[in-house]
Structure formats: C-alpha cells, structure tokens
C-alpha cells in the first residue's frame, strides 16, 4: 500500500495533508499514556503543578506495553481502545498535542475538538503488538513509574505504522 | 481414585499460559489466513497480513501476541474419579503469577474495581470455572481475554416469544455498534438460554468450540449470523471490508418458561487459549 512517511516533530504542512484513510508511518519520538496517566495529567493541570513532558506538538500513543524482556527495549506494544480517553482529550489538545494514536472510534465531541485544534487521530493495528514491538528502537519511562504498565514511556520509533481515522477537516474513516 | 499432583497441575497451567500468550492456535491462524486470501479491500487485506505476521513474530521472537495479556480464565472439568493433591485454586493462581513474571507478560488485574484500582502485579486472581464430569481425568483450558473486547460484551433478556429475527438483529447490531473497538475480525461466542449468568458463561465457552454446532438448526443459525455480521462493513480492525466476524459459535442451555437470555462474547482476532487433559 502507498504510505506517507512522517518524522517527529511532525511539520505543520505534513499534518495538514493527512486525510482519513491514509496509511502513514511515524519515525521519531512518541509518548505512551493510557487511562491512569490521563487522569493524573488532568489532576496536575488542575492543581497547576509541573507536567512530566512538554506536550507541544507531541504525539500521544494510547498504549500499555508488556514488560521488556532481556535484550529488548520494550515488550508487546499494541494500541489500547481510545474512547476511554475521550473525556481527557480536550485537556491534552490544549496542552499542545497534535496527534493521538490508539484504536477504535472517538466520540462526536472528540471529532469536533480535533477539527477545532487542527489535530489528527490515528489507529494503529490493534492486537498486532509483537509486530509493533519491532518498530520500537528505544523506550524510557518518563513519568508515573508506579502505575506499572500504565506508566508514561518515551518511545523512539522507526516506521511505526498507523492509519488516519479522523483528519483535521472532519474526515472520518469509520463513518 | 486417581490423584493429580501439585506439580502436575502447576506445570500444566504454566505451559498453557505460555502457549496461549505466544502461539496463536492453528485454526485461528488458518481462519485469518483464509480471510486474508478472500479480502478484496487493500487496507483490510494489508491489516490481515500484519495480523498474520504478528503471529509469526510472537512465536519466533517470544513476544506476547498482544500487550494485553488478558484476564486469565480457567475452565476445569474435574472427573469424579480424580483428586488433586492440594488446593487447585491456590496452585493455579501461583502458576499464573509465576509464569506471567518469568515470561514478561503484562499484569492487568487491579485489586478492586471501584475503590482500589491498584495493579496486583501478578495478573491474579484467575477466574476459574469448574464442571464436575464422569471419569478419572482433569481437562483444563486456559483462556486469555483482553479488556478491549470484553468491554463490548452484551446480554439481553428476550421475552420467550421473541422471534429469531429479533435475536439475530440484536446480535448483528451489537457487532456493528462495537465496530473497531473489540479488534475484529471477531470470534463470536453466543450463549442462549439458562439464566443470565449461565448464558454469559456459555458465551465464553462457545467461542472456544472449534467445530460448528452439532445440531443442524443451531448450525444454520450460526451461519446466518456470520453472513449478516459480514455485511456490516466493519471489517478487520474496523477499516472496512467483508471480514468482520471469523466464526460464530452458539452454546445453548435449558431455560425458564419466562426467559430467553442471549449473551454475547466478542473475542478479538487474537483468540488465545490452550487445553490439555491430565
């Protein structure tokens, strides 16, 4: 299939050209965050406390990897279902996140927010967690280590494959 | 009375946990492969290709098939002529905890659903279901169920006079509404009859039945549901196409004159389970 190869930080014009249904690969830095990390970040924002990373132009990957076996940077690392993060999406967008990667559909509210904030939602390949492991070059915990698999990881990825589900123009692959 | 030792049970559980998490059963791989061959839509075809590669990488590089190493569900069929040397629940939980740790499988169980969602760190407790059967052997199945697809489970209590079309409609609508969330192509287990809890448990057991239903009426119903689900356009991982459901399996039970429960167990494409007999 025709793929578009992107590198982080993803330049504005590259984000703008993305359309629902595009097959893209991402190389560079992405951050994992799932249920507990989102809740915690929302609390930190509410309490005006310092945040673990700079979210400006960040790519957030909804994932909770399995532990790294010896000799590997990470274990299995497929996406988790995204709708559970819907309630926190506006907070993340207002912090500067421009791309979310997960799996499954988003609420109509989130779809509107993506248009308002010029951001993009992509799906990776649910259940292809061993396959996706092969795209991760490095993994470091950057926050919330106490959450175990729900800690926030900084991942260095090479040609990490995703499909654009919701582009910044309201396009929706699942519609 | 035959006795199964603590070690035998521990080793069997440990081996099943490893096999289930790293090696997709042959018939599941075959089902994905058949769908890959027949799929016309490029993105759906590529998705199925990636899922097949995933199974190969998991097995050869010893990386779990899915990062969600699931809730561990164990089905025991204990023969009346067999005893277990020790507390089976304790042995099974210890074997699962040890094996999850030593094979770098993700622990995903929290202590309390509401007031203390702290990860137990061991992926225990295991959810164990026991049947007492004739004979002097112990049949064990370890079934790994991910949270994303479990969240799409459904139960509806129909009135006994409901017609089959209503039931089919409910099932197809549930699959369609779940869309990409449970990671299709799905292995769909349906429990019909019994009480609400029995129907739900039968939906879990049904999905593990390799063969279609032995009764012709139920077998035809499985086929109709499969065909209807595959016209929803959901497709592999919700990316569109004709392969939304891989197999449909029904397990029925006698029920009350006033009831007709229908329970749905939507299993993702990564149907992970293994069985053995001691």
CA distance B66 to A149: 13
Confidence of residue A1 (pLDDT cuts 50, 70, 90): confident
CA distance A139 to B273: 30
Count chain A–chain B contacts defined by CB atoms under 8 A.
138
CA distance B125 to B109: 8
**What does the pLDDT look like over B46-73, one tens digit per residue?**
999 999 999 999 999 999 999 999 999 9
**What does the pLDDT look like over A81-127, one tens digit per residue?**
999 999 999 999 999 999 999 999 999 999 999 999 999 999 999 99
Task: Report the share of chain B in percent with pLDDT over 70.
Answer: 100
Domain ranges of chain A: 3-166
Nearest CA to B177 out of B224, B232, B217 is that of B232
CA distance B229 to B235: 10
How many angstroms separate the Cα of B195 from the Cα of each of A64, A127, B153? 36, 32, 16
* pTM, entire model: 0.95
Chain A residues lying within 8 Å of B181, measured CB to CB: 81, 83, 103-105
Torsions phi, psi of A72, nearest 5? Answer: -125, 145
A174 CA: distance to closest CA in chain B (Å): 7
User: Between A69, A104, A148, which is nearest B107 by CB?
Assistant: A148
Give pLDDT, residue A173.
95
Taking 90 as the threshold, does the pLDDT of residue B272 lie above it?
yes
Mutate to test the interface with B, among A25, A63, A82, A126 (most CBs of B within 10 A): A126
Mutate to test the interface with B, among A4, A35, A63, A76 (most CBs of B within 10 A): A76
Give pLDDT, residue A175.
86
Kindly report the three-state secondary structure assignment for every residue of chain A: CCEEEEECCCCHHHHHCCCCCCEEEEEEEEEECCHHHHHHHHHHHHCCCCCCCCCCCCEEECCCCCCCCCCCCCCCCCCCEHHHHHHHHHHHHHCCCCEEEEECCCCHHHHHHHHHCCCEEEECCCCCHHHHHCCEEEEEEEECHHHHHHCEEEEEEEEEEEEEEECCCCCECCC
**What does the pLDDT look like over B14-23, one tens digit per residue?**
999 999 999 9
Q: Tokens 């089976």 — which residue?
A: B88
Torsions phi, psi of B9, nearest 5? Answer: -65, -45
**What does the pLDDT look like over B107-164, one tens digit per residue?**
999 999 999 999 999 999 999 999 999 999 999 999 999 999 999 999 999 999 999 9
CA distance B159 to B121: 43
Mean pLDDT across the stretch B171-183?
97
Q: For this structure, is A38 an active site residue? A: yes
| pLDDT averaged over every residue in chain B | 97
CA distance B30 to B15: 23
User: Between A126, A134, A174, which is nearest B183 by CB?
Assistant: A126
Q: Sheet containing B245-255: which strands, arranged edge to edge?
A: B154-158, B260-267, B186-194, B245-255
Structure tokens, B255? 């029920």
Chain B residues lying within 8 Å of A69, measured CB to CB: 62-63, 103-104
A125 touches chain B (CB under 8 A): yes
**What does the pLDDT look like over A31-79, one tens digit per residue?**
999 999 999 999 999 999 999 999 999 999 999 999 999 999 999 999 9
Q: Tokens 């057991």 — which residue?
A: B205
- What does the angle CA B249 – CA A124 – CA A23 come to, to the nearest 5 degrees? 115
DSSP chain B: -EEE-HHHHHHHHHHHHHHHHH---HHHHHHHHHHHHH--SHHHHHHHHHHHHHHHHHHHHT--SSS---EEEEEEEEETTEEESS-HHHHHHHHHHHHHHHTTPPP--BS-SSS---B-SS--S-EEEEEEESSS-EEEEEEEE-HHHHTT-EEEEE-TT--HHHHHHHHHHHHHHHTTTT-SSEEEEEEEEE-HHHHHHHHHHHTT--SPPSSHHHHHHHHHHHHHHTTS---GGGS-SS-SEEEEEEEEEEE-TT-EEEEEEEE-S--EEEEEE-
CA distance B258 to B50: 47
- Catalytic residue, candidates A38, A98, A103, A111: A38
What is the ipTM score, two decimals? 0.94
Structure tokens, B33? 């492969």
- What does the angle CA B109 – CA B111 – CA B116 come to, to the nearest 5 degrees? 125
Give domain A3-166's CATH number out of 3.10.20.740, 1.20.120.550, 2.30.40.10, 3.20.130.10.
Answer: 3.20.130.10
Mutate to test the interface with B, among A66, A71, A82, A121 (most CBs of B within 10 A): A66
Structure tokens, A119? 């951001």
């Amino acid at each position: 299939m025709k793929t578009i190869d992107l590198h982080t930080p993803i330049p504005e014009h590259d984000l703008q050209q993305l359309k629902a249904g595009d097959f893209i690969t991402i190389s560079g830095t992405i951050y994992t965050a799932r249920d507990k990390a989102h809740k915690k970040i929302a609390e930190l924002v509410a309490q005006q406390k310092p945040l673990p990373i700079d979210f400006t132009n960040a790519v957030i990957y909804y994932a909770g990897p399995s532990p790294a076996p010896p000799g590997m940077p990470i274990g299995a690392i497929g996406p988790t279902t995204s709708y559970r993060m819907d309630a926190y999406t506006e907070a993340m967008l207002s912090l500067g996140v421009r791309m979310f990667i997960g799996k499954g559909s988003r609420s109509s509210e989130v779809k509107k927010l993506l248009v308002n904030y010029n951001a993009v939602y992509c799906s990776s390949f649910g259940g292809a967690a061993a396959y996706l492991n092969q795209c991760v070059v490095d993994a470091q915990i950057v926050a919330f280590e106490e959450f175990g698999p729900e800690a926030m990881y900084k991942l260095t990825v090479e040609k990490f494959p995703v499909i654009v589900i919701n582009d910044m123009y309201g396009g929706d692959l699942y519609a | 009375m035959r006795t199964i030792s603590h070690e035998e049970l521990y080793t069997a559980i440990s081996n099943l946990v490893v096999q289930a998490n790293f090696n997709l059963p042959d018939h599941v791989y075959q089902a994905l492969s058949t769908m890959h061959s027949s799929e016309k839509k490029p993105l759906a075809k590529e998705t199925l290709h990636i899922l097949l590669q995933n199974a190969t990488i998991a097995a050869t590089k010893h990386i779990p098939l899915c990062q969600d190493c699931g809730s561990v569900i164990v089905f025991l069929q204990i023969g009346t002529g067999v005893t277990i040397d020790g507390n089976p629940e304790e042995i099974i939980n210890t074997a699962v905890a040890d094996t999850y740790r030593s094979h770098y499988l993700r622990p995903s169980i929290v202590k309390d659903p509401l007031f203390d969602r702290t990860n137990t760190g061991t992926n225990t407790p295991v959810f164990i279901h026991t049947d007492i059967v004739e004979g002097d052997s112990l049949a064990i199945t370890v079934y790994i169920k991910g949270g994303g697809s479990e969240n799409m489970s459904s139960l509806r209590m129909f009135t006994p006079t409901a017609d089959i079309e209503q039931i089919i409609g409910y099932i197809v609508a549930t699959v369609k509404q779940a869309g990409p969330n449970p990671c299709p192509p799905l292995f769909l287990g349906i429990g019909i009859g019994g009480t609400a809890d029995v129907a739900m448990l039968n939906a879990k057991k049904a999905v593990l039945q390799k063969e279609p239903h032995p009764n012709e009426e139920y077998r035809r119903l499985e086929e109709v549901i499969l065909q209807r689900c595959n016209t929803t356009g959901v497709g592999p991982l919700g990316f569109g196409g004709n392969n939304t459901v891989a197999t449909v399996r029904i397990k029925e039970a006698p029920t009350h004159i006033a009831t007709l429960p229908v329970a749905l167990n939507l299993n993702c494409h990564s149907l992970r389970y293994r069985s053995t007999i001691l």
